[in-house]
């Protein structure tokens, strides 16, 4: 504990201040990326920039306290409350467009770093002899499941699928996607990497961009674990990612400090955003309003 306390006492505040500013930029940029997807899904509606930004920030705050990214449901519900006649399926699928790119970018970055020898060693992939068998089993199971699903599709399911497909509308227009979604999401990733890089140097670790990228990807993976905010999992992965850069105590100090700082920032911004959405400056009233179901909105798939 003494070593951990000493680490926090030696933090460089200049790096931390800049990291907090960039964390705000991350929230704003990702909200803009999601709004770009929503605009393509609902071209006939006015998609409020501030409204989507507030909903996104509120959902990120919830993710810190609800396991397995439960805040995504809050984002969907809050955006739907601002778009009369919208569909839960459409809004949810629009959000999945953003999340899918996150997974692709994370996988691409990790693969690149691994191939360059700048990432921790991963388990060996399946051997060539077993890989065709694994792929064959997966294909057979997927085809069988698809045929069974088609055979049992009802009118409700069809309407759900049509609504969900609407959320992917931006993908049918590559140029639109390239100008209204991709730049914001790539910029958000750059800011996330910069945040981790700055915090590493605030802890006085001699780490490069590659280490920051690994930590960003690992942080994203940890949020899928059914523990609020990926607590514990983030620390284990940080020790693994920082091997050779920091001691176990140093890696844990860094991970705990960064998680607490980012969580505090996201929670404060999320609470302010929710108060703005519900038109009150009373936090308790805001929480009650957020929990209350909307009686004025008709049910829509």
246-271 b/e with 16+ CB inside 10 Å = b?
beeebbbbbbbbbbebbbebbbebbb
Tokens linked to 290: 């957020």
pTM for the model stands at 0.80
Distance between CA atoms of residues 254 and 211, nearest Å: 13
First to last CA, the chain: 51
Assess if residue 72 is contained within a domain: yes
Assess if residue 296 is contained within a domain: no
> How many other C-beta atoms lie within 10 A of the C-beta of residue 49?
12
Assess if residue 127 is contained within a domain: no
Residue span of the structural domain in which 215 resides: 2-122+133-291
In this prediction, the residues of the chain whose per-residue pLDDT falls under 70 are 1-9, 68, 118-155, 223-231, 280-301
Assess if residue 99 is contained within a domain: yes
Assess if residue 89 is contained within a domain: yes
| Tens-place pLDDT, residues 109-143 | 888 888 877 666 554 444 444 455 555 555 556 65
Assess if residue 216 is contained within a domain: yes
> How many other C-beta atoms lie within 10 A of the C-beta of residue 272?
17
Of the candidates 141, 2, 21, 166, the residue with the CA atom closest to the CA atom of residue 88: 166
Distance between CA atoms of residues 89 and 169, nearest Å: 13
| Tens-place pLDDT, residues 138-184 | 555 665 566 556 555 666 777 888 889 999 999 999 999 999 999 99
Assess if residue 299 is contained within a domain: no
């Amino acid at each position: 504990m003494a070593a951990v306390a000493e680490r926090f006492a030696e933090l460089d505040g200049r790096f931390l201040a800049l990291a907090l500013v960039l964390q705000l930029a991350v929230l704003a940029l990702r909200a803009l990326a999601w709004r770009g997807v929503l605009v393509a899904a609902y071209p006939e509606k006015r998609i409020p920039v501030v409204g989507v930004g507030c909903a996104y920030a509120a959902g990120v705050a919830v993710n810190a306290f609800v396991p397995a990214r439960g805040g995504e449901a809050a984002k969907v519900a809050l955006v739907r409350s601002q778009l009369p006649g919208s569909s839960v399926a459409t809004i949810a699928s629009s959000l999945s467009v953003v999340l899918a790119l996150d997974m692709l970018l994370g996988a691409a970055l990790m693969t690149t770093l691994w191939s360059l020898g700048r990432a921790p060693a991963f388990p060996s992939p399946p051997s060539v002899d077993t890989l065709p068998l694994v792929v064959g089993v997966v294909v057979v199971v997927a085809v069988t499941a698809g045929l069974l699903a088609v055979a049992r599709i009802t009118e409700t399911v069809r309407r759900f699928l049509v609504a969900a497909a609407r959320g992917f509308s931006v993908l049918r227009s590559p140029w639109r996607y390239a100008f209204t979604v991709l730049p914001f999401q790539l910029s958000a990733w750059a800011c996330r990497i910069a945040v981790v890089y700055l915090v590493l140097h605030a802890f006085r670790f001699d780490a490069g961009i590659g280490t920051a990228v690994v930590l960003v990807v690992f942080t994203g993976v940890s949020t899928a674990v059914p523990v609020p905010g990926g607590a514990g999992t983030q620390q284990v992965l940080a020790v693994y990612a920082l091997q050779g850069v920091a001691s176990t105590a140093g890696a844990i100090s860094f991970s705990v400090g960064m998680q607490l700082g980012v969580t505090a920032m996201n929670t404060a911004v999320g609470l302010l955003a929710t108060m703005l959405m519900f038109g009150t400056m009373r936090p308790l009233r805001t929480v009650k309003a957020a929990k209350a179901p909307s009686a004025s909105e008709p049910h829509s798939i």
